Structure 1
Amino acid sequence: MRYFAVLLPMKDADKSQEFRAQHLAFLAAQRNSGQVVVNGKFVDGSGGLVIYRAESFANCEALVKADPYIVEGARKYEIFEWEAVWADNGT
């Protein structure tokens, strides 16, 4: 599996508010399935970041395009393949 950092910059603030619950439910389902590692919003309100696990860029993009924020035009997206380096906490 490969990792992808997906930026979700704000496109339409009203739509982002309107479809927030569906977006969060989508991300929760993706976390539960192992496709999303972590997600969160930027505190300045400019958008958010999602780290996806996927076999390929195309698989990741298919997931991103299923996000209600993208489907409904609330957010734009940028996908970057990411070489993660994890902290070694001794466990």
Structure 2
Amino acid sequence: MKIFAVLLTMKDEEKSQKFRSQHLKFLEDEELNGNVLAYGRFVDGAGGLIMYRGEEEEAVRKIVEQDPYIQLGARDYHMHEWDMNSHVWTKGE
């Protein structure tokens, strides 16, 4: 499995507040599906970071683009494959 860091940058603060509960529900569901490792907001209000796992970038991108924040125009995103040096999340694989 590969890991992808997805930066969600603020696009529309009002929409971000309005759709926050939908966004968090989406992340909780994807975490239960094994697609999300960790997520959180930047305390300076610039957006947030989500760590996804998947076999291929395109498959992860399809999941990211289902996020209500992306679909409803609250945030933009930038995705990068991450070569993690710690075995905290991948131990036992």
TM bin, normalised by shorter chain, reads over 0.9
Q: Report the counterpart of residue 43 of structure 1 in structure 2.
A: 43
Give the Cα separation in 1 of the matches to 2:27 and 2:55: 18
Q: Structure 2 unaligned segments of length 5 or more: list them.
A: 89-93
Identity %: 49
Match of 2:91 in 1: none
In the TM superposition, structure 1's runs of 4+ consecutive aligned residues that sit over 6 Å from their partners are none
State how far apart, in whole Å, the 1-side matches of 2:47 and 2:40 are: 9
Q: Distance in 1 between matches of 2:66 and 2:16?
A: 15
RMSD, aligned α-carbons: 1.0
Match of 2:65 in 1: 65
Could you say what secondary structure the match of 2:76 adopts?
Answer: coil
User: TM-score of the superposition, structure 1-length normalised?
Assistant: 0.93
TM-score (norm 2): 0.91
Unaligned runs of 5+ in 1: none
Counterpart-to-counterpart distance in 2, 1:82 and 1:4:
5
Quote the Cα distance in structure 2 between the aligned partners of 1:65 and 1:76. Answer: 10
Q: Which has the higher helix share?
A: 1
How many angstroms does 1:14 deviate by?
A: 0.3
